[in-house]
């Protein structure tokens, strides 16, 4: 997993509350098990018309936000089913951070495992970021996980709180496998103290 310390990127505003995981990545695209290739289906039912053409009214299809890596969204972002494909799609599209007033817990946990920072700010702060993104072409922010703050070049600065364990995992780029491998020596020592384990290992 790629460590996250600070990231500066273009902001795209998605002014919708209660965006669920079926909108983030619709169910018909859940047939694959690899983590890559889902970005093209992100917000598919909103990005495309019934004939498969890009819907020009949807914000991600606005050329001003091409290459955006920071998503500013409404409250309760990521609600619905617990599919990990949702952060896979966001990450594959290029998003490194999502800023919202609140997130569904399971979605936020899944984001940590995939290197995406979920930043909770007050509703007024989120609304101000969305306003600046709408009114200023090329508007970007810096999400600083080391200092736990979001700032821009125009004087905006807001601090956020994050669980220290989640913060450590993101800063060091550790998912569950990475955390386990940190204890590889302890695991090997434990196995060495188990004669039956050594016997079974020898027979293989």
Classify residue 56: in a domain, yes or no: yes
What is the domain count for the chain? Answer: 1
In angstroms, rounded to a whole number, what is the distance separating the alpha carbons of residues 2 and 171?
9
| Domain span holding position 118 | 6-173
Classify residue 185: in a domain, yes or no: no
Classify residue 182: in a domain, yes or no: no
pTM for this predicted structure: 0.87
Classify residue 1: in a domain, yes or no: no
DSSP character string of the chain: ----SEEEEEEEEE--SS-BHHHHS-GGG----SSSS-GGGTTHHHHB-TTS-B-TTSGGGSGGGTT--EEEE-TTBTBSS--THHHHHHHHHT--EEEES-B-HHHHHHHHTTTPEEEE--HHHHHHHHHHHHHSTT-EEEEETTTTEEE-TTS-EEE----HHHHHHHHHT--HHHHHHTTHHHHHHHHHT-HHHHHHHHH-
CATH of the domain at 110: 3.20.19.10
pLDDT in tens, the chain (204 residues): 889 999 999 999 999 999 999 999 999 999 877 888 999 999 999 999 999 999 999 999 999 999 999 999 999 999 999 899 999 999 999 999 999 999 999 999 999 999 999 999 999 999 999 999 999 999 999 999 999 999 999 999 999 999 999 999 899 987 766 655 555 666 666 666 776 655 655 665
Q: Which whole-number Å values give the CA distances from 33 to 85, 88, 176, in the listed order? A: 9, 10, 18
Classify residue 204: in a domain, yes or no: no
Classify residue 32: in a domain, yes or no: yes
Classify residue 69: in a domain, yes or no: yes
Classify residue 90: in a domain, yes or no: yes
């Amino acid at each position: 997993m790629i460590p996250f310390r600070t990231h500066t990127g273009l902001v795209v505003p998605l002014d919708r509350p209660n965006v669920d995981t079926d909108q983030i990545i619709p169910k018909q695209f859940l047939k694959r098990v690899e983590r890559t290739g889902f970005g093209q289906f992100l917000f598919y039912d909103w990005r495309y018309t019934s004939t498969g053409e890009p819907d020009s009214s949807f914000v991600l299809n606005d050329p001003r936000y091409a290459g955006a890596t920071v998503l500013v969204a409404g409250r309760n972002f990521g609600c619905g089913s617990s599919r990990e494909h949702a952060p896979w799609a966001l990450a594959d599209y290029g998003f490194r951070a999502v800023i919202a007033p609140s997130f569904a817990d399971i979605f936020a946990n899944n984001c940590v495992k995939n290197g995406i920072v979920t930043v909770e700010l007050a509703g007024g702060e989120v609304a101000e970021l969305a306003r600046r993104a709408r009114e200023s072409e090329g508007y970007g922010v810096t999400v600083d996980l080391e200092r736990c703050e979001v700032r821009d070049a125009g004087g905006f600065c807001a601090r956020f709180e994050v669980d220290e364990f989640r913060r450590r995992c993101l800063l060091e780029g550790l998912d569950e496998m990475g955390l386990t491998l940190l204890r590889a020596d302890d695991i090997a020592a434990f196995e060495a103290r188990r004669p039956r384990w050594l016997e079974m290992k020898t027979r293989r």
